[in-house]
Amino acid sequence: MTKQKSNTPRRPRPVDNAFKGEHLRGGVNEPTYGGALSFMRRRYASDAKGADLAIWGVPFDASTSNRPGTRFGPRAIRAASAILEGDPQYPFGFDPFAKLTAIDVGDCALDYGNHAEAPREIEKQAKEIIDTGAVLITLGGDHFVTYPLLKAHVAKHGPLALVQFDAHQDTWHPEEGRIDHGSFVARAAIEGLIDVKHSIQIGIRTHAPATHGIEIVDGNQIETLGVAGVAKKILKRVGKKKSYLSFDIDALDPAFAPGTGTPVAGGLSSREALMILRALKPVNFVGFDIMEVSPPYDQSEITAIAAAHIAMHFVCLVAERRGTK
């Protein structure tokens, strides 16, 4: 039996929404395996003015102490995010881009031969984006990058509560002029960028010489407390304080995130991390970063995929708090 052809002309599938998209909101019906890649196919723009969210990459890994490669993290997370576009986001059940305007502003411009200037450039360029009023979502990059990001956010919002998912405390004593990813929390605490009485670290599985008064939920506690218990601790610690969420991908166990510079066994599963994040709707987050994705050490892109899901959970949290679901 011959099928009758429809008289309705087929509409061509849009391609390269990152450059050619006509609308800044809504989903995109574009093949996951083709087209120009931005984060979640959002339009590229040089200016974040008027946007609710600005996605930005900082391809910097000069302060890495072990395996390098996180300079390729932003690119990998953008590519991985393509598989998430076009559907209601699980478990939220809605498309956050239906009413939130989000743009990809590309990557931080850095001179690869002048690392001493990197902190100032990251802070300066981040501040320009934040001053537009957009919530900044940063794709890293090694974890040193969070230090100038905090400075840029604090310039607008004042001292913040830090919610940090990580295998490491990153509280090693900072030395003047030194750039490393193991002391950014100590710097932030000493300089008053974070309110340590309202700050908390989740997933810690190493020792450091100081806590600076920050509450720690270590890897073993996660097992005994459970997802609900960890979320309860975060909500109690942070309270109504304006907060910054920094997620080092090595908070996840290497089974779920092998592509990172300093993997530590015994970490969170992807499901546990996402479930904890899902419970943080009451927190007033003003900024977010996902750090330490190192594609050269990834397997089947599972680390980048986990990072993309984590970033999208943050996007959905912003959408929920603004009542845009």
- Model confidence pLDDT, tens digit, residues 189-202: 999 999 999 999 99
| Residue 28: per-residue pLDDT | 72
User: What distance in Å separates the CA atoms of residue 97 and residue 303, rounded to the nearest whole number?
Assistant: 24
CATH number of the domain encompassing residue 167: 3.40.800.10
Residue whose C-alpha is closest to residue 206's, from 234, 182, 225, 187: 182
Which residue positions in the chain have pLDDT lower than 50? 1-3, 6, 10
| Residue 181: per-residue pLDDT | 81
Q: What is the pTM of this model?
A: 0.91
Task: Say if 12 falls within a structural domain.
Answer: no
Cis peptide before 140 (omega within 30 of 0): no
User: What distance in Å separates the CA atoms of residue 232 and residue 86, rounded to the nearest whole number?
Assistant: 32
| Residue 7: per-residue pLDDT | 54
Task: Say if 26 falls within a structural domain.
Answer: no
Task: Count the residues in the chain.
Answer: 325
Q: Which residue range is the domain that position 148 belongs to?
A: 48-321
Q: Which residues pair with 57 in a beta bridge?
A: 107, 139
| Residue 12: per-residue pLDDT | 54
> Phi and psi of 245, rounded to 5°?
-105, 120
User: What distance in Å separates the CA atoms of residue 238 and residue 240, rounded to the nearest whole number?
Assistant: 6
| Residue 281: per-residue pLDDT | 96
Cβ of 100: how many Cβ atoms within 10 Å?
A: 20
Task: Say if 43 falls within a structural domain.
Answer: no
User: What distance in Å separates the CA atoms of residue 262 and residue 103, rounded to the nearest whole number?
Assistant: 31
Task: Say if 7 falls within a structural domain.
Answer: no
Q: Which residues contact 208 (CB under 8 A, 6 or more apart)?
A: 168, 169, 170, 171, 172
| Residue 297: per-residue pLDDT | 96
Task: Say if 211 falls within a structural domain.
Answer: yes
Task: Tally the domains of the chain.
Answer: 1
Q: For 242, how many CA atoms within 13 A lie in the half-sphere containing its CB?
A: 14
Collapsed DSSP state (helix, strand, coil) of residue 256: coil
| Residue 200: per-residue pLDDT | 98
User: What distance in Å separates the CA atoms of residue 90 and residue 308, rounded to the nearest whole number?
Assistant: 13
Contact 275, 307 (CB under 8 A): no
The secondary element (H helix, E strand) that includes residue 166 is none
Task: Say if 187 falls within a structural domain.
Answer: yes
Task: Say if 125 falls within a structural domain.
Answer: yes
Task: Say if 11 falls within a structural domain.
Answer: no
